[in-house]
Amino acid sequence: MRLNRLIRFSSVFAGLSAFTLAGCATTHSDLDGTSGPIRVHTGSPPGIRIEPHVYQEGSDFVVAGFVKPRGVSLGSQAGHVHITVVDPQGMTRDSVMVRYIPQVFPSKGPRRSAFHWRAATVPPTGSTVRVEYAEDRHEAKP
């Protein structure tokens, strides 16, 4: 009798766990690349390299990536990432300034800082995303 309850409880627990984990899964679709529906352009000064990745996660549009210094003297460079989304007709759909974290490039390990921005809608096929590094002359969103 006790063994039947344990088996029944284990079956219910396994079923609920599988249902819960399946509900948390998100879809991640790359939108950039050579054959992707979204074009990505980057811009940065000579001492900085930007490595963006553009993708769809669920129904959200995400631009994320890394800012990397190219020289050894850029440990405390103050700046932000400027992301502009332009639709195929040339109209600006979004224009945001995003901080990268950590703001001071690490001196050990991977010398990079990460940025991340999420929008509620995916731009139409043929849109362009410009991801540019800019020195801090105005306030960026945290």
For the domain spanning 28-135, the CATH number is: 2.60.40
* Other CB atoms within 10 Å distance of the CB of residue 89: 8
Condensed to tens digits (0 to 9), the pLDDT of residues 30-85 reads 887 666 799 999 998 888 899 999 999 999 999 999 998 876 555 456 789 999 99
Domain boundaries, the chain: 28-135
Q: What was the pLDDT predicted at 9?
A: 39
The answer to whether the pTM exceeds 0.85 is: no
**35: helix, strand or coil:** coil
Q: What is the pLDDT of residues 97-122, one digit of tens each?
A: 999 988 877 777 788 899 999 999 99
Maximum Cα–Cα distance for the chain, whole Å? 74
Is beta strand 92-98 parallel, antiparallel or unpaired with respect to 48-57? Answer: unpaired
Q: Is 124 helix (H, G, I), strand (E, B) or coil?
A: coil
Measured CA to CA, the distance from residue 142 to residue 139 in angstroms comes to: 9
